Amino acid sequence: MQYTAHVLNGFNPLEALEDEWRWLFNQAESPNPFFSAEWVFTWLNHRGGRVFPVTLIVRDADNRLVATWPFFEYAAIGGRGLWVSLSDIANCLEPLVIRRDETLLKTVFEALAQLLEDYRFIWIPLLRGQWVRDHLEPALASFPNLTTIRNRSPNHFIDLGTQPDFEGYINGTVGAKTRKSLRYDARHVEQFGQVEYVTYRTPDDLLHFEVEMRSIEKVSWKGRERLGQLTGRGSEEFFHELLPKLMALGQAEITALRLNQMAIAFEIAIRQPGYYGFFHIAYLPDYHRHSPGKLLMLHNIERAIREGCTEFDFMQGGHDYKQKFCTGTRGLMDAFLCQCSFAGRLNHWVSRLFTRRKSN
């Protein structure tokens, strides 16, 4: 199959692509959930005039859209650079491709050379290490560039397809001490009254729970440390618009842990067939010592097994609890690509200096 890469500059050509983008996502064998049309175009709507989009696309011999990779312009020394779109909010930034065809992926990654003709650098965080080794690094050998690639905290996951049931997963994954602690937490929460787990799947469900959910996050440690998604500056209105769209398509759901009918914790999941993405969780600080977030997470792991999911993805972050409950890890990497120009070399030098200082 023959593929051709193109670069689209600005909003108008990108907006004209929205229906094709949605078709590509729906046809893709294993799409990046954060590059659906709902995520990308809602993000652009809320960034407004603050970003200028630059989009790498690939078409096949029949002119069908078969790959997209959205970027936006960012200030650089001696010109402009590019960052991957949604890099401030998404957990995976690999390109959206219709299938993981070697020739198609070669075309996508070698097309980065077209972008480096006009931009001093390209910043690509949160790429799977396997994609870097199999596709990015071979492509970089085909055109001049200056590159910094560094590891970051791995992506932890549970291979649910190998688990006989939830009890078998718990017994085979965590030690006796942890199992005892979990039973202790569950009993103590039950002593306070009626415990209930409720899953919200539709936009109407969200209307009834959204205020309560945002209130939990606001008083949680994430809210206090300004790490909240639903109440964060710059992200609150984005998620207010995005979540109903995703839930209407079955691409997101929210589960609450309720105690005496009052929600004390909630979890937002990204859903695809056979896939459960552990995206965001928050709980009331008054119940911290009883681990409501962990109890809710385990409930959803059990539910994912029961629903026939093959993967429970803990997504970004190397937190201790993710390491304790996972059954596998995937390496994640950041890539910083620069022109082989004087300005490109300056950007490359500054990035390496910053990386060294950050690691000290």
CATH number assigned to the domain comprising residue 275: 3.40.630.30
Q: What is the structure's pLDDT at 356?
A: 61
Q: What is the structure's pLDDT at 317?
A: 86
Same domain, 9 and 139: yes
Q: Tally the residues of the chain.
A: 360
Q: What percent of the chain has pLDDT over 70?
A: 98
Reading the block at residue 203, the tokens are 């936009």
Q: What is the structure's pLDDT at 234?
A: 82
In a domain, 129, yes or no: yes
Same domain, 114 and 101: yes
In a domain, 288, yes or no: yes
Q: Which band of pLDDT confidence, cut at 50, 70 and 90, is reported for residue 233?
A: confident
pLDDT tens column, 10-48: 999 999 999 999 999 999 999 999 999 999 999 999 987
Same domain, 224 and 351: no
* 269-287 average pLDDT score: 96
pLDDT tens column, 128-141: 999 999 999 999 99
- Please report which helix (H) or strand (E) contains residue 351, including its range: helix 342-359
Looking at per-residue pLDDT, the higher value among 197 and 184 belongs to 197
In a domain, 158, yes or no: no
Kindly tell me if the per-residue pLDDT of 227 is higher than 60: yes
Reading the block at residue 240, the tokens are 């207010």
Cβ 319 vs Cβ 104: under 8 Å = no
Same domain, 44 and 31: yes
Same domain, 174 and 65: no
Q: To the nearest 10°, the Cα dihedral for 68, 71, 72, 78?
A: -130
- In total, how many domains does the chain have? 2
pLDDT tens column, 74-131: 999 999 999 999 998 999 999 999 999 999 999 999 999 999 999 999 999 999 999 9
- The number of C-alpha atoms within 13 Å of 61 and in the hemisphere containing its C-beta is 3
In a domain, 70, yes or no: yes
DSSP 93: -
Q: Which band of pLDDT confidence, cut at 50, 70 and 90, is reported for residue 360?
A: very low
Q: Which band of pLDDT confidence, cut at 50, 70 and 90, is reported for residue 232?
A: confident
Q: What percent of the chain has pLDDT over 90?
A: 86
Average pLDDT, the chain: 94
Same domain, 171 and 91: no
Same domain, 135 and 172: no
Kindly tell me if the per-residue pLDDT of 351 is higher than 80: yes
Kindly tell me if the per-residue pLDDT of 357 is higher than 80: no
Burial 91-126, CB ≥16 within 10 A → b, else e: bbbbbbbbeebeebbbbbbbbbbebbeebbbbbbbb
Same domain, 9 and 129: yes
Q: What is the structure's pLDDT at 358?
A: 56
Q: Which of 121-125, 185-189, 192-196 has the lowest mean pLDDT?
A: 185-189
Q: What is the structure's pLDDT at 175?
A: 87
Same domain, 276 and 352: no
In a domain, 159, yes or no: no
pLDDT tens column, 40-88: 999 999 987 789 999 999 999 999 999 999 999 999 999 999 999 999 8
Q: Which band of pLDDT confidence, cut at 50, 70 and 90, is reported for residue 352?
A: confident
pTM reported for the whole predicted model: 0.94
Same domain, 217 and 319: yes
Same domain, 205 and 137: no
Kindly tell me if the per-residue pLDDT of 238 is higher than 80: yes
Kindly tell me if the per-residue pLDDT of 289 is higher than 80: yes
Same domain, 71 and 200: no
Q: Which domain holds residue 284?
A: 164-326
Q: What is the structure's pLDDT at 318?
A: 84
Please state at what angle helix 236-248 crosses helix 37-47, rounded to 10 degrees.
160
